[in-house]
Structures are given as structure tokens and as C-alpha cells.
Amino acid sequence: MQAVGIGLFLLCGQTILSLLGTVAPSGGGIIPVEIDEAAQFAALTYTSFPRNGGLLSAEIKVGFGVDLYDGSYSNRNSTTLYLKPGEEREVTLILRIPVSVLSTYSETKGYLGIYTDVSTLGGLAGIAYNALAEGG
């Protein structure tokens, strides 16, 4: 029973770590921004290729968003995937935010967050990994 517990613990750890290493935005971790001058909106595109290199199936929720410190703006986009061992899928999320918000964020008055939730063993074990990058 002890061996089963240790084995499950190691399998969970291996599955979770293998997934966490693959959810960073592709293209060197950069999120491209396209500005529509006419509409005064900016489109941020998050693309990654999460791959389950572990031996257990896992559910992964990936999202990103922009929040301003004064609470006047908060917008997020996310998706949930179920990956079997060895499976890889492409995730593309687009966030449209006003250019004025983008400018405010750039003045160190907000943060861009990338949110990752990985769970395995039917949701019994998991990790939430959130990276918040301050503007500026």
C-alpha cells in the first residue's frame, strides 16, 4: 500500500511537471499585440502547445488576462483541455482590450497574468500556477 502511494505520488508529480513545462506562450514567451487604430482596440494572442508527457491523464485549464490595480478593468480568456498521456493540443486565446487600458498597463498600473491549473487523478491532485507580469 505504501509502495502504491509513493508510486502514485511520483506519477502525479511527473505528469504535472511535464505539463507545466509546455504551457508557456510559444515564440519565446512573448504575447504578440496587434493594435486596431481605427477601433482603438488591441488584440493580445496567447498561443501554446501543452503536451502531456506523463503517464496519467490530466485536465489543464489555461488562461490569460489583464487587470488594472485600481480595479477599473479586468478581462480574462481561458479554456480547459483534457489530455491523455502523450497527447498534445494547440491552445490559442485572444484577448481584446481597449488601447487606453493597454497604455495604463504599460505605466505600471496593472498586470498581465497567465493562469494555469493542472489536475490529475480525477481532480484529486493538482497545481495552480499563476504568473503575473507587471506592466512597464
d(CA 50, CA 114): 14
Residue 5 engages another protein in binding (rule: CB under 8 A): yes
In 1-136, alpha helices (H)? 2-20, 99-104
How many Å apart are CA 5 and CA 28, to the nearest integer? 37
Binding another protein by CB under 8 A: which of 72, 92, 100, 130? 130
User: What span, in angstroms and rounded, lies between the C-alpha atoms of 136 and 72?
Assistant: 18
Binding region for another protein (CB under 8 A) out of 32-40, 55-63, 79-87, 117-125: 117-125
x/- track of binding to another protein for residues 23-62 (CB under 8 A)? ----------------------------------------
74 binds another protein (CB under 8 A): no
Under rule CB under 8 A, how many of the chain's residues touch another protein?
23
Q: Candidates 41-49, 82-90, 94-102, 118-126: pick the segment binding another protein (CB under 8 A).
A: 118-126
Q: Which of 40, 24, 41, 13 is nearest to 97 (CA)?
A: 41
Query: Distance between CA atoms of 16 and 125, rounded to whole angstroms?
Result: 9
| Residues lying near another protein in the complex (CB under 8 A) | 1-2, 5, 8-9, 12, 108, 111, 119, 121, 124-136
